[in-house]
């Protein structure tokens, strides 16, 4: 029987529904984008609370932005390889 999810998980890492075309690259990028937003929120809160400096926050946000840009490039900006009939699994 499936375990009931802990409601605290939704509070700490909320996820919203995806409304775009449901392809694997789109869904993966959407998950990466939501994680990016969540981590940015944590960093901003740490900086606002005085736990990290503005310079540390800037550096971490810049690194996260570079990772998100790379994710977009890898997932959405490159065309999937073309498969011909010979590349598909057969009934051999």
Query: What is the 3-class SS of 26-85, one letter each residue?
Result: HHHHHHHHHHHHHHHHHHHHHHHCCCCCHHHHHHHHHHHHHHHHHHHHHHCCCCCCCCCH
User: Does residue 42 lie in a domain region?
Assistant: yes
pLDDT (tens place) for every residue of the chain, 92 residues total: 556 666 666 655 556 777 888 889 999 999 999 999 999 999 999 999 999 999 999 999 999 999 999 999 999 988 766 766 676 666 65
Structural domain contains residue 58:
yes
35 in any annotated domain:
yes
| Any domain includes 10 | no
Q: Which residue segment(s) compose the domain that 35 sits in?
A: 23-73
Residue 49 lies in a domain: yes
Distance between CA atoms of residues 68 and 81, nearest Å: 22
Q: Is the pTM of this model over 0.85?
A: no
The total domain count for the chain is 1
Distance CA 33, CA 74 (A): 14
């Amino acid at each position: 029987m499936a375990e009931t999810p802990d409601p605290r998980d939704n509070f700490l890492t909320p996820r919203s529904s995806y409304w775009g075309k449901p392809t694997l690259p789109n869904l993966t990028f959407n998950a990466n984008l939501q994680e990016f937003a969540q981590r940015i929120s944590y960093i901003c809160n740490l900086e606002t609370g005085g736990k990290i400096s503005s310079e540390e926050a800037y550096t971490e946000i810049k690194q996260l932005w570079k990772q998100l840009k790379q994710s977009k490039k890898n997932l959405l900006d490159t065309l999937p390889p073309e498969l011909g009939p010979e590349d598909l699994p057969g009934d051999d």
